[in-house]
Amino acid sequence: MTTTATSTATTAQEADRAPVVSFRQVSKSYGAVRAVADLNLELHPGETVALLGPNGAGKSSTLDLLLGLRGADTGTVTLFGTTPQHAIEQGRVGAMLQSGGLMEGVKVRELVKLARDLHPRGYPLDDIMDTAGITEIADRMVDKLSGGQEQRVRFALATAGANDLIVLDEPTTGMDVSARQTFWGTMRRQAQQGRTVLFATHYLEEADAIADRVIVLHRGRVLADGTAAEIKARAGARRVTFDLDEPVDHDALHGLPYLTSLTVSNSGSAAGSGRTVRIQSQDADATVHAVYRLGLYPHNLEVAGLGLEQAFIALTTASDQSPATAEEAAR
């Protein structure tokens, strides 16, 4: 008896210490397409994590593997130290996915009630409806909703009970600006209560504003993993902007060292000949030094870090040009 009790307690402690999500050397192919490639990943309690990546990077496949909707070809996926199926049966996971239509022929309230009743730790129905902002459409038929309303209903289904992990695949697609703000406000509160939130998105500003950790996937691998600020810094490049009053020698500007992009536009100055030069450079100091060496007199010189969007493009482009080097740099 004592032995069993002790070992049960130990197992419970181990489960408590287990990462919320663990991918170990996970791969998944569809025929010749390798969607997820030797993926290693751990998520911890209370983290809000954005999964970014260009189209086809493997985001949805990763979420499908995480939720046990697809099996891995190799490697292991665990949630809370157990299988995805078991964690879901325990009501520890809520998910809002892109795919799969909502049940038809029922009213919004009926559908949410069903999800709540099925959840082992369901919340009061009115609270769920209110939090998701769907009280006003409670009596609408599910098949008569707009895209944004449908997303809110999906959100209600994902948060119908006390989950420890919430998984969202491009959750705000189709929502207007105010619905998005409400949605992320609710998600922040969920995270503050200690839940882990993982969301895939194409809106980089959302990742920047909401996530405390950003994982960039590319070709089924983790290309970068850190805070949004770390990802921006890792991309290396900086933005250099200045105005020139003198005529612009485009060839000379294109010859500047460490340049990754260059645009020249009218600066709108009174003289009419003024130009604004915008540069992305891997070494801003060297580039600016070379601008002076050309004999130019830049005004309004600004050097700034990249936004997350530009960092993301820089990282994935670098990886396409030199996969091994970019992945090395991401480690």
Ligand X SMILES: Nc1ncnc2c1ncn2[C@@H]1O[C@H](COP(=O)(O)OP(=O)(O)OP(=O)(O)O)[C@@H](O)[C@H]1O
Distance CA 289, CA 257 (A): 10
Q: For ligand X, which stretch binds (CB under 6 A), given 4-12, 17-25, 49-57, 309-317?
A: 49-57
Helix (H, G, I), strand (E, B) or coil at 187: helix
**According to CB under 6 A, which one of 20, 43, 57, 235 is a site residue for ligand X?**
57
Q: For ligand X, which stretch binds (CB under 6 A), given 6-14, 56-64, 251-259, 270-278?
A: 56-64
Shortest CB 282 distance to ligand X, Å: 27
Sign for the pseudo-dihedral over CA of 252, 254, 257, 262: positive
23 forms beta bridges with: 41, 77
**According to CB under 6 A, which one of 21, 35, 235, 326 is a site residue for ligand X?**
35
Shortest CB 142 distance to ligand X, Å: 24
**According to CB under 6 A, which one of 19, 46, 56, 75 is a site residue for ligand X?**
56
Q: Is 59 in the site for ligand X (CB under 6 A)?
A: yes
- Residue 276's alpha-carbon distances to 239, 241, 246, 264, in angstroms, are 13, 7, 11, 6
Shortest CB 50 distance to ligand X, Å: 13
Q: Is 103 in the site for ligand X (CB under 6 A)?
A: no
Number of Cα atoms under 13 Å in the Cβ half of residue 63: 28
Edge-to-edge order in the sheet of strand 74-79: 33-43, 21-30, 74-79
**According to CB under 6 A, which one of 13, 30, 143, 249 is a site residue for ligand X?**
30
Q: Is 136 exposed, middle or buried (0-12, 13-18, 19+ CB in 10 A)?
A: exposed
**According to CB under 6 A, which one of 22, 48, 60, 316 is a site residue for ligand X?**
60
Shortest CB 196 distance to ligand X, Å: 20
Residues that bind ligand X (CB under 6 A): 30, 33, 35, 53, 55-61
